[in-house]
Amino acid sequence: MAAPTTSFRKKVSTKILQIPGTRPSLHNNQLLISSGVPSFDSVIGGGIAVGTAILVEEDTYGSYGKLLLKYFIAEGIVCGHSSFLATADTKPDQIVKELPSAIVDDPGAVQDAQPSSSEADDSMKIAWRYQNMSKVQAAPVSTKFGHYFDLTKVMNPEVLAKTDMRQFYLPDEEIPDRHSNSIMNPAYQKLLQDIKSHIINKNFSTSSSKQPQQQRNILRIAIHSLGSPLWGEGEVNPDSYDPSLPRFLYGLRALLRSAFASCLITVPTYIFNDTAFTRRIENMCDTVVQLESFVGSERETNPVYKDYHGLFHILKIPRLNSLTCHMPDSLDLAFKLRRKKFTIEKLHLPPELSDTASRPQEDKDVVVKPKTVGCSTGSSKLDF
Amino acid sequence: MFIDLNNILDIDEKQPPDRISISISSSQTDNGFLIHHFLSLYIRNGYNVCMVSFTQSFSHYNNVGQKLGVNITAARDNGTLIFIDGLKLINECLFASPGDSGGVEKNPFSFVSDPKPDLKNLYDHIKQTITSFSSHSTVPTLLLMDDLGILTDLGVPVLAVGDLMMYLRNFMTSAQTLRSGCLVSVVQADKDAADEEHELLLTRLAHNSDMMLHCKSLNSGYCKDVHGELLVTWLDPKQNYPFTSRAKRMQFKIMDKTVSFFAAGMSSAVL
């Protein structure tokens, strides 16, 4: 009965996680999700890695920071991801209502889908074998990576009703009073506990036993204006160092590392007087970007910036599982907001100084090779 | 392990230094490659390594190790590497409710949630870990602490962290103990932010080390092909007055599997 054993084995490709709206990074093979703004994804190296936190330092009036948060959630809804939205001032309901609607690249494809399905019922005469082929061709358009959103339209309420979203609105939560020996600000502690229990209950943890029929999904956590006084920051003795926010972010980082979740946090860092404190918060997050809007500044009228609405600073790009990180060509970036597009562009090109310079290397070409052709004396091109 | 770096630091590739305390600091740039260098250097030579990490999980070091040709998982499995996952352990403390202290008691990082932190537990834990190595081997031990700045960020006073490092240095490098060791500690101190506590901690570490490695970003700003500057300072071990020290300055570019070093301004991108 013993079958001849052979070392030959059919190559079974290792099962890569197939989660809609994700793709592996070309750089370090991390699973990435889109931020909802394709040009944002490209400047930070392809997208937001699953298991990391991205910090957006808000512009002075917070409007663009909030917009990025909306894009982040809207992208998740279009891709079918779960989300967790935490706010302290605007109600999460309000933010959800205002989510922009995705622009479908090819509106024709959606309309064509209906008639073709009815025609396909006709039995085929010639290429009859094709009858058994499945009718669905490609994955649905909506699961691709990164979308553009139309800010003039809001997202379809039916789609919103179907999505899995947990909302956390600080004034509605029961927050215990702060004890002198509590680990951190009770508002943060409650939020951290809620995120943890949500990750465990909904099986987003990497260690949770996965039922075979259950599809892995991504949890997108969005926290709006964390660190503002509404969250209770700076309430107790403003003179001494309050490690609540760094502790919260550190706890969050540890949670995310073992979960199929990514987190986008907007923080109004301009209200912190101490740059050292801002730097500590940045150290606790993986990716850090800063928005600097021109609104109210003299740059608004400066002709150099007439096409743009603000500057986009990349402060930190994570080094995940590798020595290097994504190195953008230039850090002089600016953003502009159009009706259907939020784009981040290079403000100007950097000086051409690189190993792979496109300029010709004159030095090498100048070397004159000794001519071996006998007739030539080398003095003239037409010398015989 | 980067051979160029060994040459710069005067380290014998086959015989990594022992009885030495090295501090790594960085300002507005990344010092991760130095940590991976020391980790792979000691593991490759079959030395014992005790690593305390506050910033990354084990898989990060393991994946980078694979690229550098060192199997860190194997080292952990055969007992030459003990990895203390500070990120995970501190997180357990942050989630512990005040009522139950049963699980947290054994946690060496339980001081994090304490208003008056006492780091003796952590010291004892590390000491115990390192003693467990020396019982079955006599090769030197590396103790690597990845980013002590995290401790101060979480609210542990600088004095306490400084004291811990002084005790650890005594333990690792003193002549009385039979084992010999090397202590590498990391702290991030950004020049522009003027974080007093981090600078204080760095000064404390400077007094406590024999060699200092400092990475900083370029004064001229961001460049795609030159990632920063490495400043190496050897401090006089006898601390004779006036203090004499020797220093070297190199620029570097980090690549996927290696790091290239060159004299300042000698990058192939600008020549």
Q: Are B207 and B167 in contact (CB under 8 A)?
A: no
Has residue A170 been placed in a domain? yes
Beta-bridge partners for A53: A263
pLDDT value, residue B175? 60
Is residue B46 within 8 Å of B139, Cβ to Cβ? yes
d(CA A134, CA A121): 12
- Burial class from Cβ neighbours inside 10 Å (0-12, 13-18, 19+) for residue B9 reads buried
Domain span including residue B133: 3-263
Give the C-alpha separation, A148 to A171, whole Å: 33
Q: Which residue, B266, B205, B210, B267, is CA-closest to B238?
A: B210
pLDDT the model gives residue B115: 76
* Within-domain flag for A114: no
Radius of gyration of chain A (CA): 27
Q: Which residue of B has its CA nearest to A180?
A: B115
**How high is the pLDDT of residue A146?**
85
User: What is the C-alpha end-to-end distance of chain A, expressed in Å?
Assistant: 85
From B1's Cα to the closest Cα of chain A, the distance in A is 12
Query: What is d(CA B132, CA B87) in angstroms, rounded to the nearest whole number?
Result: 23
Residue A357: the pLDDT is 52
- Distance between CA atoms of B71 and B63, rounded to whole angstroms? 9
**Model pLDDT, residue A347:** 86
More reliable by pLDDT, B239 or A64: A64
B57 contacts A323? CB cut-off 8 A: no
> Are the Cβ atoms of A323 and B88 closer than 8 angstroms?
no
> Where is pLDDT greater, at A119 or B160?
B160
Q: Tell me the two tokens of residue A74.
A: 């809207």
Minimal CA separation from B178 to chain A, in Å:
35
Handedness of CA A278, A281, A286, A287 (dihedral sign): negative
Whichever domain contains A243, its CATH number is: 3.40.50.300
Within-domain flag for A131? no
- Bond prior to B242 in cis (omega within 30° of 0): yes
Number of domains forming the structure of chain B: 1
Strands in A48-49's sheet, in edge-to-edge order, are: A22-24, A31-33, A48-49
- Could you tell me if residue A357 is inside a domain? no
Whether the per-residue pLDDT at B262 is higher than 90: the answer is: yes
Domain coverage including residue A325: 22-103+143-346
Shortest alpha-carbon distance between residue A276 and chain B (Å) = 5
Burial A122-133 (b: 16+ CB within 10 A, else e): eeeeeeeeeeee
Q: Is residue B269 part of a domain?
A: no
pLDDT at residue number A356: 58
pLDDT score of A26: 77
Residue B79 included in any domain: yes
- pLDDT, tens digit only, all 384 positions of chain A: 445 556 666 655 555 557 888 888 877 778 999 999 999 999 998 899 999 999 999 998 889 999 999 999 999 999 889 999 999 999 999 999 999 999 876 554 444 444 444 444 556 667 666 666 555 444 444 457 888 999 999 988 888 888 899 999 999 988 887 776 678 888 999 999 999 999 999 888 887 665 555 678 899 999 999 999 899 887 766 667 788 899 999 999 999 998 999 999 999 999 888 888 999 999 899 999 999 999 888 888 888 888 899 999 999 998 888 888 888 888 889 999 988 889 999 887 766 665 555 555 444 444 444 444 445 455 555 655
User: Cβ contacts (< 8 Å) between B88 and chain A: which residues?
Assistant: 254
For residue B271, being part of any structural domain is answered with: no
User: A131 is written with which tokens?
Assistant: 């009858």
Listed in sequence order, the DSSP H helices in chain A are: 38-43, 63-79, 92-97, 107-119, 157-162, 186-201, 244-257, 275-284, 362-366
Q: For the whole prediction, is pTM greater than 0.90?
A: no
DSSP-based three-state secondary structure for B96? coil
Report if residue A378 sits inside a domain. no
Q: Name the residue among A175, A287, A279, A291 with its Cα closest to residue A231.
A: A175
Chain A CB within 8 Å of residue B269 CB: yes
B116 within domain boundaries: yes
Q: Taking residues B155-180, report their average pLDDT.
A: 82
Q: Quick check: B1 pLDDT over 60? A: yes
Sequence-distant (≥ 6) Cβ neighbours of residue A220 within 8 angstroms: A33, A72, A73, A76, A81, A82, A83, A84, A261, A262, A263, A264
Residue among B32, B59, B150 whose CB faces A323 most closely: B32
CA contacts within 13 A on the Cβ side of B249: 8
Give the relative orientation of helices B32-44 and B58-67 as an angle to the nearest 10 degrees. Answer: 70
Helix (H, G, I), strand (E, B) or coil at B83: strand
pLDDT for B204 beyond 60: yes
Q: Which of these ranges, A222-226, A372-376, B116-120, B172-176, has the smallest mean pLDDT?
A: A372-376
B64 closest CB neighbour out of A182, A251, A321: A321
With respect to residue B105, please indicate whether it lies within any of the assigned structural domains.
yes
Task: Let me know: does A337 contact A320? Beta carbons within 8 Å.
Answer: no
Rounded Cα distance, A163 and A171, in Å? 24
Contact yes or no for B231/B214 (Cβ under 8 A): yes
Instruction: For residue A206, list its beta bridge partners.
Output: none
Q: Which residues of A fall below an 8 Å CB-CB distance to B?
A: 28, 179-184, 192-193, 196, 241, 243, 246-247, 250-251, 253-255, 257-258, 275-276, 278-280, 283-284, 319-325, 327-329, 331, 350, 353-355, 357
* Whether A339 contacts A310, CB under 8 Å: no
Q: Decide if A150 is inside a domain.
A: yes
Higher per-residue confidence, B34 vs B237: B34
B73: confidence class by pLDDT, cuts 50, 70, 90: very high
Rg, C-alpha atoms of chain B: 19
Our CA angle for B196, B149, B119, nearest 5°, is 105
Confidence of residue B99 (pLDDT cuts 50, 70, 90): low
Do B95 and A196 make contact, defined as CB atoms within 8 angstroms?
Answer: yes
**A246 inside domain:** yes
Count of domains forming chain A: 1
Q: What is the pLDDT of residue B116?
A: 81
Chain A residue with minimum CA distance to B157: A241
In a domain, B147, yes or no: yes
Measured distance CA(A204)–CA(A76) in Å, rounded: 15
Residue carrying structure tokens 């952590």: B122
The CATH code of the domain that includes B223 is 3.40.50.300
Alpha-carbon distance B1 to B34, whole Å?
9
- In angstroms, the CA A168 to CA A333 distance is 33
Inside any domain, residue A224: yes
CB contacts < 8 A, A to B, total: 108
Cα dihedral sign, B40-B41-B45-B50: negative
**B86, two tokens:** 């500070």
What is the reported pLDDT for A379?
54
